[in-house]
Chains A and B, each alone.
Chain A
Amino acid sequence: MADRGDTHYHVPKLNRWFAFSSIALLVSAVWMVLFDFQRPWKEYQRDFREIEIERGKAVLESDAAQAAIAEAARFEQELEATRDRLESQGGALATAERELFELNDLRSKADAAARVAKQEANWDKFLTEEFGVHHGVDDEGFEARRARVEELETTMAARAAELQEAEWKVTQKTREIKALRAEIVELETAAKAATKSIELVQAKMAKIAPADFPTKLANIVRDDIPGLDFVGPALLVKKVLPPNLTFELNFTRKGRIDMCQTCHVPIDRAGYEEEAQPFQSHPRLDLFLSAKSPHPMNEMGCTICHRGAGEALVFQRVDHRANDESQAKEWEDEYHWHKQHYWDYPMLSADYVEAGCIQCHKDTMEVIAPEAPKVAEGYELFERYGCYACHKVDWFPTKRRPGPTLAKILQKTSREFINAWVTDPKAFRPTTWMPKIFHLENYAADQKIVDSNFGTGRAMMGDEWSDAALRAVATFVTNRSATEALPEIPVEGDALRGKEVFTLSGCLACHNTAPYTEAEREEATALADQTHGANEHGPNLRGVASKVTPEWLYTWIKDPAAYWSETRMPNLRLSDQDAADIVAYVFDDPDGTFTETPEGWAVGERPYERDVLEEQARWFWNRKRPSELQASFENEWADDEALLDAVGEKWVLNQGCHSCHEIPGLEGEQPIGTELSTWASKTVDKLDFGFVPEQMAKDLGYDVTGNEYAHFVEQFKSYRENFLEQKLHAPRSFDRNKIKNPSERLRMPWFDFTDDQVEAISVFVAGLVEDEVQHAKMVPTAEKLATDTGLRVIRQKNCEACHVIEPGTIEFLDDDGAHRAVAAQLSVFDEEFFPPPMEDFEGYLADYEEYWREDDDEFEVEEIYAQLLETVVDIGAIGTPFSIANVDSIRTTPAWGGTFVDVVTRYYLDAWAYNEETDEYDLSKTGDPDEEGRVQDVDGEWRDFSEEQYDKVRWTYAPPVLIGEGAKLQRDWFFNFLLDPVVLREQIRVRMPTFNWADGEAGAVADYFAIRAKEQWPQEYARQLQMQMDLTPEEIADGIASLGLSGSSPAQVQGISDGLPVETKAGLPNLLAYGEAQGFEFDPPVNPTYEAILPRTPSVIADYMAARPDFYAEVHALATDPAGPTCVQCHFLNGEKPTNEAPIGWAPDLAHTRERLRPDWVRQWLVDPLKVYPGTTMPANFDAELTQWQEFYAAPSADQIEAVLTWLFNLDRASLRN
């Protein structure tokens, strides 16, 4: 439009502007679209596609693939040749095919004709029948009609015959063609089979790296042209919406959407372990993400465990977390990474990732412990150090006060000792769990606590403040203690014997007397001076005679719960004499173990200044008027003792002594710590870091005004883990540089945790989040809950100290170079007495070889022998010895439990131990009054056991092994036994203690073993089936298929053998059906809740009595006659002693069988005891290869076993006795 001149704007100019802005708009629009289109995640997916193409190429270029392709090509060629050949043979095939075509045509026509004939005949038949009804069959027309029908039917039959003929011809011709084509078909199949292994790869490659142009072009359109990416793009945002998993967003619950896999493409696939991030496989696909794992991707997603922002698709926004400083630096450089300010739950670093387990596994912490060792350690430390006593965690299963009662503390020790102990517990016992409370950094010697008397008095310093408080606490606590004196020890103790009682009664199962310094520990050789976890359950007993009174020790070991009702120390039911002997030994203390104390330890009351106490009173009673307080100082608190007592109570409440210890009068007071139940859901800005980060940044040399300083402080304050670790390392450090009055100062005591302990506890606390998953996702079965409680109680009661609960594992490379891991124990080496230790096999082997190289330079152990503790299909049953030639490949994992066994066996066998340095036999090791190195047996005799075999002493005198105990014991007997133990093995010096069980604990232990036995049963079934019937998993899978059952594969059968839960659940019914079809007999699984004692059922007994009226008397004679197998040589029977006089030949009372044992187990035991407990002294009395004892009970061995079994389970039935 031309410019009319009457406008204020200039049109051409405007046009230019318009053009310019249009272009700018277009450019920016294009830019926007492109920018929006080019997301970083697409780059990752493109990169991943490159990786896949590389891998695909590698696969297809591999020799195997090339060979396959070449082979397929060869088949193709042959095919071509064959076709040509058939062609050249006069075109027989072509002719036949043409003929078939024609025959088919004829057949169709014949078929049509036959149909028509049939229809006509049928229709006519109907009309004739109708005519007959309407007019009567006598009508003249009827006969003619009928004749016509017959004619038509004849035609129909003829047509049908023609059709048959035509069909037969077709079939014949088809066969002919098939025969002619056979060669071709065979070659086609072969060509296809040759490339089967790479078929999938080829298909995938055709998709991602197409060779043909149209597909290539389509791929570009799909993925690389903005605006067209709706047409089925290959690059896609991958979302997972795990059902019922939410998170808190601005006071509402929002469903989680995890898009992590958009970049971490192969996270749920195996085979990418070596790739760089984000293209790595998850390291534990057996546990996470894979469909078979307990945490499948679709159910769990990622962020529920890892935290971080699941909906973000940009590196920075995800709130990724570096695993260490160098990675953080790398990320800062590459991605400008820093804490994402708008996200409250940053991802957990690798060290902390196990924190994510707790939210679902509160009820199964013990069960997951082997797979989540760090958080489990944190959980255990939280319990052991009594954190839960001050810091409430609502679901925490342990409730008792962790510290001993102080209600009768004066019976145990003195006020002076308490003064010194509370001042610095570790000065007396460096391994104690009691923390240091006073003289910490916020009450440091050089720190002014307060200007006294409202600023008018003198300045009071940290050390005098602490000392006065300590004195006051000790005064108050002892004033609250009962003071009545304990009775005198009724019998005189024998210190020499006491040492033996101390060693063999079980004290050393939970306690040790290991020296505290590294150097001394290396020198220490005594059994009591070795530590190994289980014997660190109770306190180290070094110096204990300097702490407690003999009378207290006597009453304590006689009945610990009488002094402290919540103690974990069980009652060993010691006799007066045994207890007195232990006390005599401890106080006589020939080696100085119990009387010597660490250097620098001094018992005595702390000094105090009265004005400090008065000032402390002013702070504690700050609601009182000064004049009122002054009156108190002059009247009821005029005496220092009274003031100490009053201030002491305030200090106890202030520092929370009552949280851990029972103190009379303070039982109802609240603990002092913050509740931690959902601590980790608290946003990080609510945590007071004090000036710790600033100080740290300064100490690192950053300029206070610089960016680095601010960045460091900000980063540090962004993560709750930093707060936790700092708090645990230096609980009062957040008071640094702060101006605080005494009532404001931090109170958490100092535990002196190691770095590892700090991290473990922090991981645990970092996992305490608001419960958002528990009931939606995780509903543990009753059996799982019982297992968890059982495991916890076993740990807390330290059952594992005396009992082997699970066997150890030996890993090695077998003769074929395959890696094997079997439950087994190492056999005793030549010329040795004890089996090699499983915890340090390599060290032992080196020592052994070195020792024998003194004689023979080339000495080398060429083979290691071990004994199976589980059925292994290709090696044998439990107890089978096997050799390992590849000695260097052996790795051992010790058994779970049974460390006290070592104490017992060494005590018995080592009584004569030769001391090379002194060239003497070390007789001081035992309590033998004649100093001959003998050990006192339970019958009072002193005996020399040095020539006995390890196995014999181990199975006779050491606490019983509990491997497979659930299959052995009746659950209810076990439960009752735990509550009220009976003496089963009279010969054992160490007695099963009477524990102080809380509700449900004993039942959970009994349940645990029963459930374990039930869980292990399918595995044992599968292995025994394979071994006894000599079948491979492939054969079994084929056999199952031939039964018409589907869904079983060799891998599944193997999975059941390996104890994999998913395979077992899916495949066991088929396996059992197959076993039954094969006539395979196997004792039924343990039912944890129901028990049937079949040998006691009336019909079973009636059958026996009918066949043998003297059944009971016959079997009784078989079991007891001196000329028979004579069970009573070793076994007690109804309380009567065995005929063997020496306790080493004793065994449990047979009368317990009925209530105690499961019949299935007893049968196995009678058949071959060494296959149940390798090493046991119980012989096979009814060996299948020996037919014996016929004069007592004429029957094959197996029948004799059944008879004895029935007799054992009916011992109480007087009615059966003649």
Chain B
Amino acid sequence: MKALMILCAAGAAALGSADNDSAKTPATTNTETGSIKGMVLWEGDRPEPKPALEIKSTETQGCHDAANMDTTDRSLLISEKGGVANVVMMIEATDVVVPDAPIELDQVGCRFEPRVVVVPVGGTLKFANSDETNHNIHTFAKKNQAMNKNVAGGADMEQMLDKAEVINVACDIHNWMKSFVVVTDASHYAVSGADGSFQIDGLPAGDYKIEWWHEELGKGKTAAVTVTAGGVTEFTHKVGEAKKKKGGGRGRR
């Protein structure tokens, strides 16, 4: 009940469209802070690229620009030069500043855009639907309130997320649609782009180990990176086949 009220309040407060860049670097840029400009690169033999998703044309009715639908399997994307996309890099450096505007997760062409979205704890996520067809937004949240709502084409809805966790998001109507919402306690974060690059600005000077997460490769911490005031530190993080299997406790026999 209380959560719902907060959610409503947050929803009412969050007017205007989300600006992702401002959300990523809440701290102000001045000469006291520095930046990390980095790459996430694949190490070792490259796995075969995954085959495209098999989607029948009968199931794409109402998807935006269905004829040119992107059917790439985005669960592990490695660029030609070895950059790994959609790796979340997170640093707990300062107090979390919750962005005013909600962070958007769109559904367009029957795909979630982006594949991975980061929300700081307490932030609001806006589920948009830019398709003509309806999508049911199904979050398999374990710590935040799970949600499963049918949202009409063009409509949107919001949810405040106040517990750190990785939430699987799916649309059951279009079974191939999957995305991840990383709700994090980190104050500074970035998601690696298609070429594997990422930049984190506004960090107070100091040594940081960056926490990273990727939907297939697992999670971990990088080597220490030194950030100097007013400087830009170049940094390369290498990832490979997941070292730690998911479900290691006793989830799988």
| Complex Cα–Cα for A909 and B152 (A) | 31
Is A949 touching B168 in the complex (CB atoms < 8 A)? yes
Chain A positions 51 through 80: 1 when the CB is less than 8 Å from some CB of chain B, otherwise 0: 000000000000000000000000000000
Given A832-B246, A949-B170, is A1122 in contact with B165 using a C-beta cutoff of 8 Å?
Answer: no
Given A949-B170, A1180-B149, A1183-B149, is A910 in contact with B252 using a C-beta cutoff of 8 Å?
Answer: yes
Contact partner, A949, options B61, B140, B165, B219, Cβ 8 Å: B140
CB of A1125, distance to nearest CB on chain B (Å):
5
Is A914 touching B250 in the complex (CB atoms < 8 A)? no
Is B220 touching A906 in the complex (CB atoms < 8 A)? no
CB of A553, distance to nearest CB on chain B (Å):
28
Q: Is B9 an interface residue (CB 8 A)?
A: no
Q: Is B194 an interface residue (CB 8 A)?
A: no
Looking at A641-649, A812-820, A847-855, A1094-1102, the stretch in contact with chain B turns out to be A847-855
Q: Is A393 an interface residue (CB 8 A)?
A: no
Chain B positions 203 through 245: 1 when the CB is less than 8 Å from some CB of chain A, otherwise 0: 0000000000000001110000000000000000000000011
Q: Is A544 an interface residue (CB 8 A)?
A: no
Q: Is A598 an interface residue (CB 8 A)?
A: no
Given A1123-B132, A1123-B133, A1130-B172, is A1174 in contact with B146 using a C-beta cutoff of 8 Å?
Answer: yes
Is A844 touching B249 in the complex (CB atoms < 8 A)? yes
CB of B55, distance to nearest CB on chain A (Å):
10
CB of B107, distance to nearest CB on chain A (Å):
14
Is B142 touching A1140 in the complex (CB atoms < 8 A)? no
| Complex Cα–Cα for A1174 and B62 (A) | 29
Q: List the B residue with the shortest CB-CB distance to A863.
A: B143
Contact partner, A1122, options B61, B172, B220, Cβ 8 Å: B61
Is A1183 touching B157 in the complex (CB atoms < 8 A)? yes
Is B149 touching A1186 in the complex (CB atoms < 8 A)? yes
Q: List the A residue with the shortest CB-CB distance to B75.
A: A947
Looking at A459-467, A626-634, A879-887, A1084-1092, the stretch in contact with chain B turns out to be A879-887
Q: Is B138 an interface residue (CB 8 A)?
A: yes
Q: Is A920 an interface residue (CB 8 A)?
A: no
Q: Is A1179 an interface residue (CB 8 A)?
A: yes
| Complex Cα–Cα for A693 and B140 (A) | 66
Q: Is B155 an interface residue (CB 8 A)?
A: yes
Q: List the A residue with the shortest CB-CB distance to B252.
A: A913
CB of B74, distance to nearest CB on chain A (Å):
12
Given A914-B245, A1122-B62, A1186-B149, is A833 in contact with B56 using a C-beta cutoff of 8 Å?
Answer: no
Q: Is B247 an interface residue (CB 8 A)?
A: yes
Is A952 touching B170 in the complex (CB atoms < 8 A)? yes
Of B61, B75, B142, B245, the most chain A CB neighbours within 10 A belong to B142
Which residues of A have CB within 8 Å of B250? 837, 844, 847-848
Is B249 touching A1142 in the complex (CB atoms < 8 A)? no
Of B133, B151, B170, the most chain A CB neighbours within 10 A belong to B151
Contact partner, B248, options A851, A1122, A1129, A1170, Cβ 8 Å: A851
Q: Is A579 an interface residue (CB 8 A)?
A: no
Contact residues of B between 21 and 76, Cβ < 8 Å to A: 56, 58-59, 61-62, 75
| Complex Cα–Cα for A1180 and B159 (A) | 15
Chain A positions 980 through 1005: 1 when the CB is less than 8 Å from some CB of chain B, otherwise 0: 00000000000000000000000000
Is B142 touching A865 in the complex (CB atoms < 8 A)? yes
Interface SS majority for chain A? loop
Chain A residues within 8 Å of chain B by Cβ, number: 64
| Complex Cα–Cα for A1185 and B132 (A) | 20
Q: Is A828 an interface residue (CB 8 A)?
A: yes
Contact partner, A1142, options B145, B149, B175, Cβ 8 Å: B175
Q: Is B173 an interface residue (CB 8 A)?
A: yes
Categorize the interface residue count of chain B: 35 or more
Is A1145 touching B251 in the complex (CB atoms < 8 A)? no
CB of A948, distance to nearest CB on chain B (Å):
9
Q: List the B residue with the shortest CB-CB distance to A1176.
A: B148
Contact residues of A between 847 and 903, Cβ < 8 Å to B: 847-848, 851-852, 854-855, 865, 867, 876, 879-881, 883
Chain A positions 1123 through 1138: 1 when the CB is less than 8 Å from some CB of chain B, otherwise 0: 1111001100000000
| Complex Cα–Cα for A913 and B134 (A) | 34
CB of B171, distance to nearest CB on chain A (Å):
9
Q: List the A residue with the shortest CB-CB distance to B173.
A: A1129
Given A833-B247, A1180-B148, is A1130 in contact with B173 using a C-beta cutoff of 8 Å?
Answer: yes
Which residues of A have CB within 8 Å of B151? 1186, 1188
Q: Is B166 an interface residue (CB 8 A)?
A: yes
Is A833 touching B136 in the complex (CB atoms < 8 A)? no
Is B248 touching A831 in the complex (CB atoms < 8 A)? yes
| Complex Cα–Cα for A852 and B251 (A) | 13
Q: Is A829 an interface residue (CB 8 A)?
A: yes
Chain B positions 152 through 174: 1 when the CB is less than 8 Å from some CB of chain A, otherwise 0: 11010100000101101010110
Q: Is A494 an interface residue (CB 8 A)?
A: no
Is A1189 touching B152 in the complex (CB atoms < 8 A)? yes
| Complex Cα–Cα for A837 and B155 (A) | 39
CB of B244, distance to nearest CB on chain A (Å):
7
Is B148 touching A1179 in the complex (CB atoms < 8 A)? yes
Is A914 touching B252 in the complex (CB atoms < 8 A)? yes
Contact partner, B148, options A830, A1145, A1169, Cβ 8 Å: A1169
Which residues of A have CB within 8 Å of B1? 876, 1027, 1030
Which residues of B have CB within 8 Å of A1123? 62, 132-134, 152-153
Given A1140-B173, A1188-B155, is A881 in contact with B145 using a C-beta cutoff of 8 Å?
Answer: yes
CB of B58, distance to nearest CB on chain A (Å):
7
Contact partner, A833, options B144, B146, B252, Cβ 8 Å: B252
Which residues of A have CB within 8 Å of B251? 828-829, 832-834
Which residues of B have CB within 8 Å of A844? 249-250
Q: Is B13 an interface residue (CB 8 A)?
A: no
Which residues of B have CB within 8 Å of A1174? 146
Is B219 touching A831 in the complex (CB atoms < 8 A)? yes
Q: Is A413 an interface residue (CB 8 A)?
A: no
Given A1122-B133, A1125-B150, A1176-B148, is A883 in contact with B143 using a C-beta cutoff of 8 Å?
Answer: yes
Given A1169-B148, A1186-B151, is A865 in contact with B143 using a C-beta cutoff of 8 Å?
Answer: yes
| Complex Cα–Cα for A867 and B168 (A) | 17
CB of B143, distance to nearest CB on chain A (Å):
5
Of B75, B144, B152, the most chain A CB neighbours within 10 A belong to B152
Q: Is B141 an interface residue (CB 8 A)?
A: yes
Which residues of B have CB within 8 Å of A913? 252-253
Which residues of A have CB within 8 Å of B56? 1141
| Complex Cα–Cα for A1183 and B148 (A) | 10
Contact partner, A847, options B59, B172, B219, B249, Cβ 8 Å: B249
CB of A1029, distance to nearest CB on chain B (Å):
11
Contact residues of A between 1169 and 1185, Cβ < 8 Å to B: 1169-1170, 1174-1181, 1183, 1185
12 extra A-B contacts, CB within 8 A, seeds A831-B244, A833-B246, A879-B146: A844-B250, A851-B249, A879-B145, A883-B143, A914-B245, A949-B168, A1124-B134, A1125-B152, A1145-B173, A1177-B138, A1179-B172, A1188-B151
A–B complex contacts, Cβ < 8 Å, 11 sampled: A828-B142, A832-B249, A833-B246, A834-B252, A851-B249, A879-B146, A881-B145, A910-B252, A1123-B133, A1145-B175, A1176-B148
Q: Give 5 closest A-B pairs by Cβ, nearest first.
A: A848-B249, A1179-B136, A827-B142, A832-B251, A851-B248
